[in-house]
Amino acid sequence: MFKKDLISIADLGTDFPEVINLALRLKRDRYSRRDSVVGRTMGMIFEKSSTRTRVSLETAIFQLGGHGIFLNPSDMQMGRGETVSDTAHVLSGMLDIITYRAFKHENVLSLAKNSSVPVINALDDKEHPLQLIADYMTIAEKKNRISGLKFAYVGDGNNMANSIMIASAMAGSDVSIASPKGFEPAKEYVEIARKIAKENGVTVEIMNDPVEAVKDSDIVYTDVWVSMGEEKQREEKEKTFRPYQVNSDLVSHARKDYIFMHCLPAHRGLEVTDEVADSINSVIFQEAENRLHSAKAAIVYLLEH
Ligand code: CP
Ligand code: NVA
């Protein structure tokens, strides 16, 4: 039986705008159930901490008429050595959809490969697709369009940077990524994004100068300097990334009506100042709320395909 997964934001392909529109509709119709979800059960395996992703997914499946089961690997046999592939076979015999937040991208791929039901990547070391549906939904609300914009991301070339490059290329917007030397996004992801960008007549630029990236941008985005699992690099990264702080000086180079975005959690005083995070241009809490509506869109899209 054919089933669709959401491992990379690229998996949505040309359906990306349709999924954003679905999220916008589901936001307007907040408490309505969906026939395709009523009575369905979603497993939620979380190897890492989460506030937004866990709460949005669990609330989404409940409001749509289904049920979510939160699965902490340390309470599962997976935590005692049962393989990801055996876990996938077992869980997909009982569940209708599985979400997985993992340290290793390979484990998300293995879960998807061995599962007969759709798998959603709820963040791994390479990508964070659910966040980008919420982000472009927020951009659609604030800018009334998702294409023809300039998206600037300042910070670590991490999972967020990878998904942002790909999603922006899919949306038809130019993207500039400014990271310190040695912390640029992986070549493999830059290539994926550039291939899509070329088809859509937009650009993906990687640079080291944050001012150049932010210049005339419509969106200024940042993420934590130290991602989950990188705690040992904290001291070194906090020093290296200092010049990449999103502060009033830096955003003065953006367009006057720019919006500030952050997937959250934010480390205020490090990657972003309070002045920017709490400014009139900041949309961080609308963006966070949209995680709920976009989680619903992802679930509905996968169960109805
Ligand atoms: N943005 C995001 O994924 O947040 P959580 O880690 O709280 O889920
Ligand atoms: N890059 C961050 C994103 C958190 C939502 C991390 O992986 O920890």
pLDDT value at residue 1: 65
What local confidence, expressed as pLDDT, does residue 214 receive?
A: 98
Q: How far apart are CA 220 and CA 255, in angstroms?
A: 10
Per 3-state DSSP, the chain is made up of helix, strand and coil in percentages (nearest 5) of 45, 15, 40
C-alpha of residue 243 to centroid of ligand 1, in Å: 25
Tell me what percent of the residues of the chain surpass a pLDDT of 70.
100
2 or 261: which carries more pLDDT confidence? 261
Q: For 69-85, what is each residue's pLDDT tens digit?
A: 999 999 999 999 999 99
Compute the distance between CA of residue 186 and CA of residue 189 in angstroms, rounded to an integer: 6
Q: What is the distance in A from the centroid of ligand 1 to the CA of 131?
A: 8
9-127+290-304 matches 131-287 in fold: yes
CA gap 192, 13 in Å, rounded: 12
Identify the architecture of domain 131-287 in CATH.
Answer: 3-Layer(aba) Sandwich (3.40)
Q: Looking at the predicted structure, is the pLDDT value of residue 252 above 80? A: yes
**Pair 210, 185: CB distance under 8 Å:** no
User: For tokens 């697709």, what's the residue?
Assistant: 129
Q: Is 213 helix (H, G, I), strand (E, B) or coil?
A: helix
pLDDT on residue 2: 87
Structure tokens at 86: 């055996």
Side by side, the strands of the sheet bearing 41-46 are 67-71, 41-46, 97-101, 119-121
Point out the catalytic residue in the list 34, 40, 52, 101.
Answer: 101
Coil, strand or helix: which one is 246?
strand
pTM for the full predicted model: 0.98
**Does residue 223 have an active-site annotation?**
yes
Q: For position 23, what pLDDT does the model report?
A: 98
Question: What's the gap in Å between 204 CA and the centre of ligand 2?
Answer: 21
Is CATH 3.10.20.30 the classification given to domain 9-127+290-304?
A: no
Given a contact cutoff of 8 angstroms between Cβ atoms, the answer to whether 301 and 15 are in contact is: yes
Nearest atom within ligand 2 for CA of residue 229: 8
- Residue 127 CB burial class (10 angstroms; 0-12, 13-18, ≥19): buried
The answer to whether 173 touches 148, Cβ cutoff 8 Å, is: yes
- Tokens standing for 165? 């490059």
Please tell me which residue in 223, 245, 262, 293 is annotated as part of the active site: 223
Query: Can you state the angle between helices 129-143 and 159-171, rounded to 10 degrees?
Result: 50
Give the tens place of pLDDT for each residue, 5-57.
Answer: 999 999 999 999 999 999 999 999 999 999 999 999 999 999 999 999 999 99
Place of tokens 């020093």: 239
293 is catalytic: no
Distances (CA, A) of 43 to 92, 131, 226, 257, 274: 9, 19, 28, 41, 36
Cβ-count burial 173-212 (b if 16+ within 10 Å, e if not): bbbbbbbbeebbbeeebbebbbebbeeeebbbbbebebee
CA distance 187 to 190: 5
Q: Does position 177 have pLDDT exceeding 80, yes or no?
A: yes
Question: What does the pLDDT look like over 202-236, one tens digit per residue?
Answer: 999 999 999 999 999 999 999 999 999 999 999 99
153 in Cβ contact with 221 (< 8 Å): yes
**Active-site annotation holds for 291:** yes
Query: What is the residue extent of each domain of the chain?
Result: 9-127+290-304, 131-287
Question: Closest ligand to 133 CA?
Answer: 1
pLDDT tens per residue, range 97-148: 999 999 999 999 999 999 999 999 999 999 999 999 999 999 999 999 999 9
